[in-house]
Amino acid sequence: MEVGAVSSSSSRVLTNNHLFSLSSNKTPLKTNFLTAKGFSFPTFSLIKPSYYKPTAISTNNPTVSTSKVKGSNERDSSVFELSSLTALSPLDGRYWNKVKELAPFMSEYGLIRYRVLVEIKWLLMLSQIPEVTEVPSFSDEAQRYMQGLIDDFGLADALEVKNIEKVTNHDVKAIEYFLKQKCQSHPEICKVLEFFHFSCTSEDINNLAHALMLKEAFNTVLFPVMDDVIGAMCNMAKEYAHVPMLSRTHGQPASPTTLGKEMAIFAVRLSRERQRLSQIEILGKFGGAVGNYNAHIVAYPEVYWPVIAEKFVKSLGLTFNPYVTQIEPHDYMASLFHAVIQFNNILTDFDKDIWGYISLGYFNQSTKAGEIGSSTMPHKVNPIDFENSEGNLGKANAGLSYLSMKLPISRWQRDLTDSTVLRNMGEGLGHSLLAYRSTLQGIGKLQVNQTRLEEDLDHCWEVLAEPIQTVMRRYGVPEPYEKLKEFTRGKAVTQESMQEFVQGLDLPQEAKANLLKLTPHTYIGAAAELAKTVDVAVNMVNGFRD
């Protein structure tokens, strides 16, 4: 089953192919544990809304009219169900197919699933503490049962949790009740139901769930695409290592380089940020209501709980943070998001440069049958992929910048402002992922226009003023810079005029001969070698460490 996104109101579910709504006239859920506590719940079923019908468009009448859905008002929000056309965020609508891999991790479904994982793993940890005799070691079968609750957790389970939350009005408590419900019929686990969420504050569960969401989203989805971007640039660097290109500083012609070397620069810059991202420690806390293990110690004073907490957090593949309030302070998140922002800034620089090179004609873009560049100018092939990437990188950085500035700030032991803000992590990462894929798509369309590159070099013999005046300095020719400035500045310089200037210099014959051989095409220094060896400089790493 494809994972969708559970809406915050839990009344709608978005999957890739269907619209679903909740109904209250279906067979009730089995909620024995909860109904025994006096709770009653709205029930749900997965059905297509009866009113949702595609609008008919006449192809016979030249005047196309669109009829409304019967009985609906286009300004009445009550008639809309969540779909790719009604989603407020384009990530969940227009761009869903390009970012949906993040949904199992960064959606509310993902948050619920990781909360379930943490609660179950904590109960299993309690069973391994000798002093907690009330929770004996579980049999292999009981452990498999609980692991199955994690492995087989699906959308129906998440909806069940959301239905419980409608009554509890507390999202984490709903997880505890859900697990008690699931385990009440198990002869072994049912004896220790009250040890679900033992001595935990909600943030013990949430901070670990958020950490796991981020770690798995990066390792599974984001890092591989980042690596693809870096790898594509490395390939361009090596392929175009010997392709000379006129540089531009301040937008003006400057000393030549090679196209490959310019691509290598971005590959190395991005790889440094990619490596820095992987070195950030993903932290977790498990110290109770204010980080002091207060309740733990009262219940079991003979257990040294800080060691247990550290062991538990590390067992999840996270780094333990012992100095916390009710919350893990989120400093690592700020560092993580800042690193993503810097990666995105570098990629924005790349997008802008490629856009400029396309504008200069250095790159052509391969075309696809049926695609339209401009609605009115048929000749245009716009650099839309790089523009799309640039726009999404800006949107991503705006959200991630706010997260990185806000999350480390919390009043005293905690306030709830982080809770609502953390639900938006997927937005910044989603726009980043969309941008990375747009850049990759754009790179795949690029075709070097060697003729145009050569034309630019042929028309800029003045760039040889730099090496000529440098050789003049070596051999003591007075005022070399001033002489070249007078010769070149604001004047048309040709191959003939430049060589005539060199012939008139008081230089050793060998030095003069070397300068006469020099052309804008060959004056590239070590650019080609730097481009060819880019793989040595790019340090690719696998992901966050366990």
Active site residues: 250, 374
CA distance 323 to 328: 8
Token digits of residue 346: 């570098």
In 119-243, DSSP assigns E strands to: none
C-alpha 186 chain-centroid distance:
40
Count CB neighbours of 180 within 10 A: 18
CA proximity to 527, closest of 241, 269, 254: 241
Strand partners, 283: 319
In contact, 430 and 393? CB cutoff 8 Å: no
Count CB neighbours of 391 within 10 A: 16
**Helix/strand/coil for 101:** helix
Say what the alpha-carbon torsion angle 452, 456, 458, 464 is, to the nearest 10 degrees.
-150
What are the two backbone dihedrals, phi and then psi, of residue 6, each rounded to the nearest 5 degrees? -80, 130
User: Strand pairing of 283-284 and 319-320?
Assistant: parallel
Site of tokens 């302070």: 329
**Helix/strand/coil for 363:** strand
Count CB neighbours of 449 within 10 A: 16
Count CB neighbours of 511 within 10 A: 15
Site of tokens 């992922």: 433
Instruction: In the chain, count H helices and then E strands.
Output: 23, 9
CA distance 117 to 114: 5
CA distance 273 to 266: 11
Residue 485, CB-side half-sphere exposure with 13 Å CA sphere: 4
Token digits of residue 97: 């197919």
Write b or e for each residue in 108-132: b if 16 or more Cβ atoms lie within 10 A of its Cβ, otherwise e: bbbbbbbbbbbbbbbbbbbbeeeeb
What are the two backbone dihedrals, phi and then psi, of residue 257, each rounded to the nearest 5 degrees? -135, -165
Count CB neighbours of 402 within 10 A: 14
Computed on alpha carbons and rounded to an integer, the radius of gyration of the chain in Å comes to: 31
The size of the chain, in residues, is: 546
